[in-house]
Chain A
C-alpha cells in the first residue's frame, strides 16, 4: 500500500492539546555542526590541547622546510669547534662532538624522527583496524583465531619485541619501520576489536539489520564511522611511544645510520659528551620528550572532544 506521507498531509497532532516538544533554540533553521564540527569546536576550547597541537604543527613545518632553512650545513663538522656550549655566537644551540651545528641537525633530524615515529603507526592503523574490526564484527571463531594470534605478540614487552625484530631484520630505516609496525598492529587490533564488539551490540545495528541492509552495508555505513574515531585517537597516542621506540632503536644502532641526523642517534653519539657539555647532550632527548608528550596531550584532548554526551 502506498502510504501517503507527504509534507502536505501533515497534520500536527490536530486533536487535543498536543504539540511537538518545544525546541530549546528559537532559530528557524537549526544548522547542525556535524560530528567533526563539534569535535573541532570543543577541541579549540581546550587550551592545553591547542598548545600541544601548535607544537606538533611547528615541528612538522620545520621538518618539511628544514633542508632550506637550516642556518648552517648540518653535515659539515669542524674539529676545532667541537662541543660548543648553548648560546654560542655562531652555534645558537652549540655544536656536537664532530663540531656540527646542533640547531641545524636538530631541525633536519626532526624529519627522520617524525617519519619513523609516525609511519609505523599509520601503517599499523590500517592493518590493525582491518584485523580488529573484522574480528569484532564477525565474532565467533574468526574472532577467536585472530585475537588469540594477536595475543601471542602481547607476550613480549613492546621494547623487546621491537629490538628483537630489528635485530633480526638488520639495521636501517625501512627495517625499523617494519619492526615498529609489527609492534603496533596487535595493540591497535586489540582496541579496534573491543570497540567494534561494543558497537555491534548497540540497538542501532539491530535496527539496521531489520531494515534489510547487508552485513557489508552495515559495516560500511553504521559501524565504520563509529569505530574509526576511537581507534584513531588511540593510534595518535601511540605516536609518542613510536617516536621513543624509534629513537631507542637508533640509539642502539638498529635504526638510522650516521651521519644522518636523527634525534635518537644524536642522543647516542652525544652521550660521551655528557660530562663535557651536558646541556647540548640532552637537547635531542628534550626534543623527543617535547614532541612525544605533545602527541600524547593532543590525543587526550581529541578523545575528550570526541566524547559525545547525550
Chain B
C-alpha cells in the first residue's frame, strides 16, 4: 500500500507497459509577447514546435544554451506556465484532461530547481518543506513528518541533525539534497531536474550525481535532466536532446549524439567544451558570437547564419526532425537525403 491515499495500485499505475513512452510531447509551442521600445508588439519564440518522448526508466538529457528554450520546456512540462498549443501524453493519457488532470499528473511528475535556496521556503524547516507535499495530499501530519525524516536519511542527511534546520543554515549541496528529497515525497515516477547540479561545486556535484543514480535505481525513476554541461549530461543520460532557439536540433542515444554528432550545432557545442589536456588545448572556436535572440529567429534552419555547412537552401527550408539512424533524429538538411543540400547523403536511408 502506498502511504499516499488515492494513489492507484502499482500495477494499475503503469498503464501502457514498458514499451509505451512515459511522456510524449508533441507540437509544443510557447510564445511570450514582449513590447520593444518602439511600442511594436513582438513575440519571443521560447518554445517553437518541440516533439519528443521520454521512455520509461531512462534519463533524457536536454542540452542547449541560454535562449534555447530548455527551461521554458521544463516549465511547460510541469504546467507552471500554460502552453500555447501542444499535447502532453503521460503514459498514454492526455495531461490536463479528465482522465489525467494536472493534480494527478503532478503527483507522478516532480521537479528539482537550479537555485537550491530560492526553491526552499526560508521560513520553513527542512522537514516541514519535505512534509508539505504529502500533507496537502492527505497524509496525516505525523506520518508526513516521519516520511520526511526517512527521505532526509535516504538523501544522506541525518534527520536528527538536519530535520529542524532552516535553509540558510545548511550548505548548497545539502539544500539540493533536501530539494531532491522533497521531489520524491510524493513518490513520483518522473523527476525533472532543471540545472539541478549546475550551481554546485564540482566535488559536491559528483556527490549529488551519485545520489541521483542511486535514487533512480532504488525507486525506479525516470529522469529528464536539463543542463548546459555536456560532460555531466554524457555521464548521466541514456538519450540526449539538443535544443537551439526553441527547437530540437538533434535527439538520440547519448553515445551516438555526443560521440558522433550529426548536427553541426551539436558538433560546435562539443568543440566548445574546454579540453582537460594541456597538450591538446582548443585552437579555435567553431562558433563566433553569442546565441541569437529568440525574438526574431532566422528563417529556414535557425542555425544557418552560424553554420559551416550552410547553403542557400538552408535559409529557405526549415529542416524537419528526421530519423537518420535507429533512435537518432536530426534536423539538418545536410544529413537528410533529397533535401536539396549538396552534402546530403544520396540514397534514402531505411529509417
Interface residues of A (CB under 8 A from B): 1-3, 5-7, 9-10, 12-13, 15-16, 18-21, 23, 28-32, 34-35, 38, 202-204, 206-214, 217, 221-222, 225-226, 308-310
**B15 within 8 Å of A (CB atoms):** no
Let me know if A203 and B166 touch, CB within 8 A.
Answer: no
Let me know if B158 and A20 touch, CB within 8 A.
Answer: yes
Nearest residue, chain A, Cβ from B147: A5
Let me know if B136 and A217 touch, CB within 8 A.
Answer: yes
CA distance A309 to B219 in the complex (A): 35
List 18 contacting pairs A-B, 8 Å CB cutoff, sorted by A: A2-B2, A3-B184, A5-B151, A6-B150, A10-B153, A13-B156, A18-B156, A21-B207, A207-B119, A208-B132, A210-B111, A211-B182, A211-B185, A212-B107, A222-B132, A225-B121, A225-B123, A310-B168
Additional A-B contacts beyond A21-B204, A203-B118, A308-B166 (4; CB < 8 A): A5-B150, A29-B161, A212-B136, A221-B132
Let me know if B113 and A20 touch, CB within 8 A.
Answer: no
Cβ of A23: which chain B residues have Cβ within 8 Å of it? Answer: 161
CA distance A30 to B160 in the complex (A): 7
Known contacts A28-B160, A202-B118, A225-B123; is A18 also within 8 Å of B207 by CB?
Answer: yes
Cβ of A226: which chain B residues have Cβ within 8 Å of it? Answer: 121-123
CA distance A12 to B117 in the complex (A): 24
- The stretch that binds A, out of B47-55, B169-177, B285-293, B301-309, is B169-177
| B 1-38 contacts with A by CB, 8 A | 1-3, 10, 13
Q: How far is the CB of B207 from chain A (nearest CB, A)?
A: 6
Let me know if B165 and A12 touch, CB within 8 A.
Answer: no
Known contacts A20-B157, A21-B204, A210-B80; is A310 also within 8 Å of B164 by CB?
Answer: no
CA distance A10 to B137 in the complex (A): 25
Let me know if A210 and B157 touch, CB within 8 A.
Answer: no
**B133 within 8 Å of A (CB atoms):** yes
Known contacts A35-B166, A222-B121, A310-B117; is A212 also within 8 Å of B161 by CB?
Answer: no
Cβ of A16: which chain B residues have Cβ within 8 Å of it? Answer: 210
Let me know if A20 and B159 touch, CB within 8 A.
Answer: no
Interface residues of B (CB under 8 A from A): 1-3, 10, 13, 78, 80, 103, 106-107, 110-111, 113, 115, 117-125, 129, 132-133, 136-137, 147, 149-151, 153-154, 156-162, 164-166, 168-169, 171, 173-174, 177, 179, 182, 184-187, 204, 207, 210-211, 214, 219-220
Let me know if B169 and A32 touch, CB within 8 A.
Answer: yes
Nearest residue, chain A, Cβ from B2: A2
Let me know if A207 and B111 touch, CB within 8 A.
Answer: yes
Let me know if A32 and B166 touch, CB within 8 A.
Answer: yes
Let me know if A309 and B169 touch, CB within 8 A.
Answer: no
CA distance A3 to B184 in the complex (A): 10
Known contacts A35-B123, A221-B132, A222-B121; is A13 also within 8 Å of B214 by CB?
Answer: yes
Q: How far is the CB of B55 from chain A (nearest CB, A)?
A: 18
Let me know if B3 and A211 touch, CB within 8 A.
Answer: no
Let me know if A203 and B186 touch, CB within 8 A.
Answer: no
Q: How far is the CB of A291 from chain B (nearest CB, A)?
A: 31
CA distance A67 to B154 in the complex (A): 63
Cβ of B118: which chain A residues have Cβ within 8 Å of it? Answer: 202-204
CA distance A10 to B151 in the complex (A): 9
Cβ of B113: which chain A residues have Cβ within 8 Å of it? Answer: 203, 206-207
Cβ of A207: which chain B residues have Cβ within 8 Å of it? Answer: 111, 113, 119, 179, 182
Nearest residue, chain B, Cβ from A217: B136
Cβ of A9: which chain B residues have Cβ within 8 Å of it? Answer: 150, 154
Cβ of A21: which chain B residues have Cβ within 8 Å of it? Answer: 171, 173-174, 204, 207
Let me know if B80 and A30 touch, CB within 8 A.
Answer: no
Cβ of A15: which chain B residues have Cβ within 8 Å of it? Answer: 210
Let me know if A3 and B219 touch, CB within 8 A.
Answer: yes
CA distance A168 to B174 in the complex (A): 60
- Among A7, A19, A32, A214, point to the contact of B136 (Cβ < 8 A): A214
Let me know if B149 and A7 touch, CB within 8 A.
Answer: yes
Let me know if B150 and A30 touch, CB within 8 A.
Answer: no
CA distance A214 to B119 in the complex (A): 18
Let me know if B161 and A211 touch, CB within 8 A.
Answer: no
Let me know if B3 and A2 touch, CB within 8 A.
Answer: yes
CA distance A181 to B64 in the complex (A): 54
Cβ of A29: which chain B residues have Cβ within 8 Å of it? Answer: 160-161
CA distance A225 to B13 in the complex (A): 37
Q: How far is the CB of B64 from chain A (nearest CB, A)?
A: 20
Cβ of B153: which chain A residues have Cβ within 8 Å of it? Answer: 7, 10
Nearest residue, chain B, Cβ from A25: B161
Nearest residue, chain B, Cβ from A209: B80
Let me know if B110 and A210 touch, CB within 8 A.
Answer: yes
Nearest residue, chain B, Cβ from A309: B168
Let me know if A213 and B161 touch, CB within 8 A.
Answer: no
Nearest residue, chain B, Cβ from A35: B123
Cβ of B161: which chain A residues have Cβ within 8 Å of it? Answer: 23, 28-30
- Among B10, B78, B184, B210, point to the contact of A18 (Cβ < 8 A): B210
Cβ of A203: which chain B residues have Cβ within 8 Å of it? Answer: 113, 115, 118-119
Let me know if A20 and B174 touch, CB within 8 A.
Answer: yes
CA distance A3 to B137 in the complex (A): 16
Cβ of A10: which chain B residues have Cβ within 8 Å of it? Answer: 150, 153-154
Let me know if B168 and A32 touch, CB within 8 A.
Answer: no
Cβ of B78: which chain A residues have Cβ within 8 Å of it? Answer: 206, 210
CA distance A284 to B137 in the complex (A): 59
Let me know if B168 and A20 touch, CB within 8 A.
Answer: no
CA distance A32 to B127 in the complex (A): 12
Cβ of A1: which chain B residues have Cβ within 8 Å of it? Answer: 2, 10, 13, 187, 220
Q: How far is the CB of A68 from chain B (nearest CB, A)?
A: 42
